């Protein structure tokens, strides 16, 4: 497989630049944001969705852009767009399409006591990895190349550079022990009061150690929709109070699955001679997330469902949606690598024209 070239630059602390459009829907969103403040031009109507694939490049990028207005925003985009009613209406329509697609791809949700039993089985299953498991972390540990590992870092950068930010939306929506324990987990994610230990900062160090750009949002153009979906689902759940149980389920699933995969990623980095900063990020997650998984399962989920048992099905939705979207990403990565091609849309630093090819590098 040909090596993918990555520029290394000094990381920015300012807002990221807008990505390139991938179709008519994202082009309409980007066109509105670049026209000036809200009111300068009308926000795209929900009719712009038309036949957009809920998992497709166009809708996932448009949804990502709408969500990022609630995080860092974008250079040159008026911050007033964050709460523009027209844009929020379009975002809601995209969310409904995305959420409906996720639910359609999951088994029917059980109710009552059956939901709690199903949730317990799902969480237990996350703790027990099959002996024949052959996911991405196994591939990278056993046979992956340095370029493939760097591609993996690029995919994960879209979330890791804002690690734990989406989950923070749920804090004011919890009470009691569930709230206190989730804040304790978030406190660790945000460095325990030390800026240099914030996990997003550690990931920026990892990117620089791998010769990659550590700027927030730098690689959005490079990653496909299947990657954006794993991040968009967090914001979808986090920005809606009615989905607070689903976000707790997602957070628990993420924490339960991280420790063993982080250990295998450390072994991959060691085998391939990666920098200490690359190793440190994943080594930090081996111990931290082993503790977090217990806190999330017993103190957060346990207390939340004792107070609001009606949220059980939503917690189960969060667990299953996480597995669904992460599974789709893993399948994409492994299929690309085993076929000897890049898993990225284009080489980072290049810019695709709208509707450009998914896997083939695009010309400057």
* Residue partners of 267: CB distance under 8 A and separation at least 6: 141
* Residue partners of 363: CB distance under 8 A and separation at least 6: 350
- Domains of the chain, by residue range, sit at 24-103, 112-338
Q: Which of 304, 357, 317, 352 is nearest to 110 (CA)?
A: 317
Q: Return the minimum-mean-pLDDT range out of 114-118, 158-162, 284-288, 334-338.
A: 284-288
* CB-CB contact of 194 with 325 (8 Å): no
Q: Return the minimum-mean-pLDDT range out of 38-52, 237-251, 261-275.
A: 38-52
Eight-state DSSP code of residue 211: T
Residue 51 banded pLDDT, cuts 50, 70, 90 = confident
Q: What is the pLDDT of residue 356?
A: 37
* CB-CB contact of 37 with 82 (8 Å): no
Q: What is the pLDDT of residue 292?
A: 81
112-338 falls under which CATH superfamily? Heme oxygenase-like (1.20.910.10)
Q: What is the pLDDT of residue 240?
A: 98
Question: pLDDT higher for 129 or 141?
Answer: 141
Q: What is the pLDDT of residue 115?
A: 86
Residue 347 banded pLDDT, cuts 50, 70, 90 = low
Phi and psi torsions of 348, nearest 5°: -55, 135
Residue 133 banded pLDDT, cuts 50, 70, 90 = low
In sequence order, the β-bridge partners of residue 348 are: 350
* CB-CB contact of 213 with 8 (8 Å): yes
What average pLDDT does the segment 84-90 reach?
94
Backbone φ/ψ region at 217: left (φ over 0), alpha (ψ -120 to 50), beta? left
Q: Which of 251, 237, 249 is nearest to 305 (CA)?
A: 249
List the alpha helices (DSSP H) in the chain: 24-34, 57-68, 85-104, 113-127, 136-142, 146-160, 165-168, 176-189, 199-209, 225-238, 244-272, 276-294, 302-307, 312-338
Structure tokens at 341: 């091609």
Task: Check pLDDT > 70 for residue 37.
Answer: yes
pLDDT digits (tens, 9 = 90+) for 300-321: 999 999 999 999 999 999 999 9
Using alpha carbons only, give the angle 173, 176, 182 rounded to the nearest 5 degrees.
Answer: 65
Q: What rounded mean pLDDT belongs to the chain? A: 88
Q: What is the pLDDT of residue 259?
A: 80
- The fraction of the chain above a pLDDT of 90, given in percent, is 72
* Entry pTM: 0.90
- The fraction of the chain above a pLDDT of 70, given in percent, is 88
Residue 182 banded pLDDT, cuts 50, 70, 90 = very high
Please return the burial class of 342, using the count of CB atoms within 10 Å of its CB with bins 0-12, 13-18 and 19+.
buried
Q: Which of 194, 212, 214 is nearest to 204 (CA)?
A: 214
pLDDT digits (tens, 9 = 90+) for 138-171: 999 999 999 999 999 999 999 999 999 999 999 9
Q: Which of 297, 294, 244, 264 is nearest to 122 (CA)?
A: 297
Q: What is the pLDDT of residue 255?
A: 86
Task: Check pLDDT > 70 for residue 8.
Answer: no
């Amino acid at each position: 497989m040909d090596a993918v070239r990555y520029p290394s630059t000094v990381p920015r602390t300012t807002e990221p630049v807008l990505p390139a459009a991938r179709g008519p829907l994202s082009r309409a969103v980007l066109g509105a944001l670049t026209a000036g403040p809200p009111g300068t031009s009308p926000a795209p109507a929900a009719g712009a969705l038309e036949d957009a694939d809920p998992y497709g490049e166009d809708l996932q990028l448009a949804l990502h852009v709408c969500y990022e207005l609630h995080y860092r925003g974008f250079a040159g985009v008026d911050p007033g767009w964050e709460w523009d009613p027209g844009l929020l209406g379009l975002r809601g329509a995209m969310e409904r399409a995305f959420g409906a697609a996720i639910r359609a791809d999951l088994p029917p949700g059980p109710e009552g006591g059956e939901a709690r039993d199903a949730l317990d089985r799902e969480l237990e299953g996350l703790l027990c990895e099959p002996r024949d498991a052959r996911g991405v972390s196994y591939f990278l540990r056993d046979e992956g190349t340095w370029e493939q590992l760097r591609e993996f870092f690029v995919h994960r950068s879209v979330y890791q550079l804002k690690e734990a930010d989406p989950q923070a939306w749920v804090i004011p929506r919890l009470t009691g022990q569930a709230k206190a324990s989730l804040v304790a987990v978030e406190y660790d994610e945000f460095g325990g009061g030390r800026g240099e230990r914030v996990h997003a900062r550690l990931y920026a160090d990892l990117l620089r150690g791998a010769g990659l750009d550590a700027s927030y949002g730098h690689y959005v153009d490079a990653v496909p929709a299947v990657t954006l979906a794993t991040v968009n689902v967090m914001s979808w759940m986090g920005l809606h109070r009615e989905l607070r149980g689903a976000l707790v389920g997602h957070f628990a699933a993420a924490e339960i699955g991280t420790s063993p995969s982080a250990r295998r990623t450390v072994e991959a980095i060691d085998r391939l001679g990666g920098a200490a900063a690359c190793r440190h990020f994943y080594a930090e997650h081996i111990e931290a997330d082993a503790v977090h998984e217990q806190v999330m399962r017993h103190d957060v989920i346990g207390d939340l469902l004792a107070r609001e048992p009606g949220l059980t099905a939503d917690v189960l939705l969060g667990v299953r949606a996480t597995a669904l979207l992460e599974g789709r990403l893993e399948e994409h990565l492994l299929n690309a690598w085993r076929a000897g091609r890049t898993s990225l849309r284009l080489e980072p630093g290049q810019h695709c024209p709208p509707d450009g090819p998914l896997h083939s590098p695009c010309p400057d």
